[in-house]
Structure 1
């Protein structure tokens, strides 16, 4: 099995774990909200059902993006991941954030009595454990990817080209924070007898989900319209090219994301020696195939540089020859 297939399976496993946890948590929160009458618990139930629906979209994103390229899609189907992940983010905003805020406002206007706090506390505790398991899985995967690129974990979440991993990490993190907010709202409702803290808890959960959804939507939008690669990835690709025994100089490099962890590479290079036209063409094709053997390169196109074109200067790779 190729490494990219393993990563795709790992990402799908992360989504499936999150889905299973969200289904259990959503059912438990719904029952607890109906029994206790807590606005914060109702907001958390809406949050969990929104997350459950999102996992379906994220799983679809992983499956569709993994399809091999064909004549209709010469750059593959990788960008499908950003489309479906954006749909999932919109779902989090509408089904989670809007519902939670509206329910909290309604509770402020027309307070309803709450009770059976013990059930709410038990459900919140169980939910925290289940959400924590899902978050740990996403955190470990993200931290591993961050180490490979010499980044910190949060930087990897924001900059990663993998929208599924970013969504699971962000939603699970938001879920844990939301549970703490709900616990505080219910606890203050119990000790003060006022439904206001509970209602405010519901509104805060909604605002938290809205912020997460907007961030996810914005990140997916950037990758759909052409997010530039980071300087570290550009330097890494330049190093791979310049370290090739047949390449002497690099004068142009264009990198473009065509899906999660997938790049389209265009470069202008000087081939060592003074080869005949046929031999140069063969050498260029050989380097292209070797680049495409790497899991991150969907397609590579190399052309010859002219003598008057200046070499690109990458601090991480300059002077290696």
Structure 2
């Protein structure tokens, strides 16, 4: 799975680097503001892929004395930086170039180079987009795409898919702007196309930033994982019931779990410690993405009082695996 994520990002990086060079050449030959904006767009996407690769590598570092729970959130940090770059550099430059071209229009020269580059770019961007889409389809299961995007704890593939989708839409806008500007002899339309690209990038940036921020602040693990942990730990000998749990997503495959547990009344302190070790071993054997499991002995009454103190419980209080 990790190799697949890295491969998707490398493909997107190679495509964007080649396309960026071609777009800048075409913009220089024809004087198209939309094509220049697209060149900057591809260059920003290339930088973004480099940052995602760096974030992936850093997030896989093992825990150490200064970071005992690992470096998983580094990926969320760099994903947030990627969203800011799309807005500040990609959308910002496209907006500036579009407004400048509307105020001081410069007639397009022969647009043939633009059409050739746009067609080549569409092939490369489309190939990268297809690989990203297939990767997302394998991960999302029966969920819809937007639901899977909102619930995903791994921003890598979805970031690449969003960037490629924005790139394809930007290519269409740039192509339409170049055609109308040349056909109608109205160079300002090329500037409006550049502004349209800025709007697309701003929307993509806002969605990516929203999800990256939520993960960076700290989100709970998926309900599916909560159910698994509850089912596994409640079957351990000595556990009377699992009252609830608190989870924190530390990285795409790194979760911290705190479990409220009621043990059998006749257990001694040593027996409870053995029971906790068996709970930890059971979750490890199930190969769950848990980096730390904390167990809190607690009666159901204490648990219910804890849930009642929450102004907005995260889950249905009737669920046995509810949050602490």
TM-score when scaled to structure 2?
A: 0.88
Alignment match, 1:267: 259
Alignment match, 2:193: 201
Give, in whole Å, the separation in 2 of the partners of 1:151 and 1:230: 13
Give, in whole Å, the separation in 2 of the partners of 1:244 and 1:174: 49
Alignment match, 1:168: 160
- What are the ranges of 5 or more consecutive residues in structure 1 without an aligned counterpart? 1-6
Taking a change above 3 Å as real, the CA distance of residues 209 and 240 of structure 1, as seen in their structure-2 partners, is farther
- Verify: 1:67 aligned to 2:61, yes or no: yes
Give, in whole Å, the separation in 1 of the partners of 2:131 and 2:37: 25
143, 150, 153: which is aligned to 2:145? Answer: 153
Equivalences for 1:185-264 in 2 at 5 Å? Answer: 185-242=177-234, 247-264=239-256
Q: Give the superposition deviation at 1:186.
A: 1.1
Q: Give the superposition deviation at 1:229.
A: 3.8
Q: Give the superposition deviation at 1:233.
A: 4.3
- Aligned 8 A contact 1:250 1:305 in 2: no
**SS of 1:64's equivalent?**
helix
- Verify: 1:141 aligned to 2:135, yes or no: yes
Give, in whole Å, the separation in 2 of the partners of 1:137 and 1:192: 38
- Verify: 1:92 aligned to 2:97, yes or no: no
Alignment match, 1:314: 319
Q: Give the superposition deviation at 1:82.
A: 1.2
Taking a change above 3 Å as real, the CA distance of residues 245 and 9 of structure 1, as seen in their structure-2 partners, is farther
Give, in whole Å, the separation in 2 of the partners of 1:307 and 1:208: 51
> Which piece of structure 1 moves more, 225-234 or 61-70?
225-234
CA root-mean-square deviation: 2.2
**SS of 1:302's equivalent?**
strand
Give, in whole Å, the separation in 1 of the partners of 2:318 and 2:235: 14
Give, in whole Å, the separation in 2 of the partners of 1:205 and 1:97: 7
Q: Give the superposition deviation at 1:158.
A: 2.6
Equivalences for 1:127-138 in 2 at 5 Å? Answer: 127-138=121-132
Give, in whole Å, the separation in 2 of the partners of 1:143 and 1:109: 44
Give deviations 1:118-146, integer Å, cap 9, x for gaps: 22111111111111111111111111111
7, 19, 25: which is aligned to 2:19? Answer: 25
Equivalences for 1:288-307 in 2 at 5 Å? Answer: 288-292=280-284, 294-306=287-299
Alignment match, 1:119: 113
**SS of 1:28's equivalent?**
helix
- Verify: 1:77 aligned to 2:82, yes or no: no
Give, in whole Å, the separation in 1 of the partners of 2:229 and 2:295: 13
**SS of 1:158's equivalent?**
helix
**SS of 1:103's equivalent?**
helix
Alignment match, 2:279: 287
Taking a change above 3 Å as real, the CA distance of residues 307 and 184 of structure 1, as seen in their structure-2 partners, is closer
- Aligned 8 A contact 1:51 1:92 in 2: yes
Q: Give the superposition deviation at 1:304.
A: 2.3
> Which piece of structure 1 moves more, 59-68 or 190-199?
190-199
- What are the ranges of 5 or more consecutive residues in structure 2 without an aligned counterpart? 305-316
TM-score when scaled to structure 1?
A: 0.89
- Aligned 8 A contact 1:292 1:298 in 2: no
- The number of aligned residues is 309
**SS of 1:211's equivalent?**
helix
- Aligned 8 A contact 2:220 2:246 in 1: no
- Aligned 8 A contact 1:11 1:165 in 2: yes
Give deviations 1:57-78, integer Å, cap 9, x for gaps: 1110000001111121111100
Q: Give the superposition deviation at 1:166.
A: 2.3
